């Protein structure tokens, strides 16, 4: 029944769609309850490698997050497209005879919207990926 909440209350654009925050007249207290699921899920990280010739056990990691939750979905799509194009480019010049000094790892991490869990878990359990 009161006026709409001012835009500066919503860093990053505020609620979308039909969701509105309308405080009570004269009231300044807001109680928000979030009922998020706590079901375990599976994160899938995908990687490919182009082995280096001179220092194959030294790695250069090129990675991008991959998920489709929230407003970051477009950024994840752009990052994935760039990652795939870089992989395609290096594979093409490798077929033409170019030799890498170090091994290049191309990694697409899942779970970025959940605290970068995909990248964190992958790096914690993958000390030597090849």
Rounded CA separation 118/111 (Å):
5
Give the structural domain span for 101. Answer: 46-125
Domain count along the chain:
1
Least confident range of 66-70, 90-94, 103-107, 122-126? 66-70
Which residue would you say has higher pLDDT here, 84 or 6? Answer: 84
CB 102 within 8 A of CB 116: no
Domain presence at residue 7: no
Domain presence at residue 115: yes
For the chain, where are the E strands, in sequence order?
Answer: 46-50, 55-66, 102-110
* pLDDT for the residue 9: 66
Predicted confidence (pLDDT) at residue 79 exceeds the cutoff of 80: yes
Domain presence at residue 110: yes
Segment 78-103 mean pLDDT: 93
């Amino acid at each position: 029944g009161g006026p709409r909440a001012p835009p500066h209350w919503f860093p990053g654009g505020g609620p979308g769609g039909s969701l509105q925050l309308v405080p009570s007249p004269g009231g300044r207290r807001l109680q928000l309850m979030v009922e998020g699921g706590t079901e375990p899920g599976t994160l899938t990280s995908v990687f490919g490698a182009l082995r280096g010739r001179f220092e194959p056990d030294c790695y250069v990691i090129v990675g991008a997050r991959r998920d489709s939750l929230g407003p970051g979905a477009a950024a994840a799509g752009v990052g994935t497209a760039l990652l795939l194009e870089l992989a395609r480019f290096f594979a093409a010049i490798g077929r033409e005879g170019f030799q890498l000094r170090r091994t290049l790892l191309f990694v697409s991490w899942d779970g970025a919207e959940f605290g970068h869990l995909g990248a964190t878990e992958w790096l914690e359990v993958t000390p030597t990926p090849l």
